């Protein structure tokens, strides 16, 4: 019980810390933040339920007024802006990532975690992000997808790296990874 609580708390902190690192500029020319990387890791390491809880805990702190989002942003304003869809998608993304990672046992954790990160951390997350943009900005679905398209290649790479990182963590601390 204690270990569950501290793991959830530490991973919530991890999402914040990863968001504080400066964004990377990939060959696509579009900056990618490491924050959704943290969300993917929550699901891949903690599993569906605890991963989602960690993300919810993180979002709760942002709502309470802590500048934990990438770029030092935070507060209630982040939940009503044009990119707020992504925030609402974070916990779902972690849940789906964890669900795939813990249930797809036939392959190594690296592969199932990467698959989970791709489907949950990119697919589901961008669905929420696009929906948010459609609601707030009034875009149509194809327009929202077109606006987000530039960011997707970078996030696909992120998801694969999340899988590799999860596999490495499992080798280093097998007892801590809850998806195996």
Partner 1 sequence: MLAMTLEQPTWLHHWPAGLKMAVMAAAMVAFLPVTEPVVIGALVAATAALYASLGTPALRRGLRLLRPLLLVLAVIMAWHLIIGAPRQGAVICLRILGLVALANLVTLTTRLDDMTAVLERLLSPFRRLGLNTAAVSLALALVIRCVPVLTQKGNALMEAWRARSPRRTGFQIAVPLVLVALDDADHLAEALRARGGVARPD
Measured from the CB atom, is 94 or 106 closer to partner 1? 94
**Roughly what angle, to the nearest 10 degrees, separates helices 48-64 and 84-103?**
160
The two beta strands, 31-32 and 24-25, are antiparallel
Q: Does 60 bind partner 1 (CB under 8 A)?
A: yes
Check if the beta carbon of residue 7 is closer than 8 Å to that of residue 46. Answer: yes
Q: Does 28 bind partner 1 (CB under 8 A)?
A: no
Beta bridge partners of 25: 31
List 55, 57, 92, 159, residue binding partner 1 (CB under 8 A): 57
**Residues 140 to 179: which contact partner 1 by CB under 8 A?**
158, 161, 165, 168-169, 172-173, 176
Q: Does 127 bind partner 1 (CB under 8 A)?
A: no
* Interface with partner 1: number of residues (CB under 8 A): 55
DSSP assigned state of 23:
P
DSSP 126-148: HHHHHHHHHHHH---HHHHHHHH
List 29, 106, 138, 142, residue binding partner 1 (CB under 8 A): 138
Q: Does 64 bind partner 1 (CB under 8 A)?
A: yes
Measured from the CB atom, is 105 or 171 closer to partner 1? 171
Q: Does 79 bind partner 1 (CB under 8 A)?
A: yes
Strand runs (DSSP E) across the chain, as ranges?
24-25, 31-32
């Amino acid at each position: 019980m204690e270990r569950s609580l501290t793991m959830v708390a530490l991973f919530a902190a991890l999402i914040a810390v990863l968001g504080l690192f400066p964004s990377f500029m990939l060959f696509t020319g579009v900056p990618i933040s490491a924050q959704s990387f943290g969300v993917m890791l929550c699901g891949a390491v903690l599993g569906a339920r605890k991963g989602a809880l960690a993300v919810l805990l993180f979002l709760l702190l942002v709502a309470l007024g802590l500048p934990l989002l990438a770029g030092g942003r935070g507060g209630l304003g982040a939940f009503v802006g044009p990119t707020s869809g992504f925030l609402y998608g974070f916990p779902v993304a972690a849940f789906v990532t964890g669900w795939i990672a813990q249930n797809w046992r036939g392959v190594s954790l690296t592969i199932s975690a990467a698959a989970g990160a791709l489907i949950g951390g990119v697919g589901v997350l961008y669905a929420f992000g696009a929906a948010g943009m459609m609601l707030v900005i009034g875009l149509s679905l194809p327009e929202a997808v077109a606006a987000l398209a530039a960011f997707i290649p970078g996030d696909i790479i992120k998801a694969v790296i999340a899988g590799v990182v999860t596999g490495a963590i499992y080798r280093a601390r097998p007892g801590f990874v809850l998806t195996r």
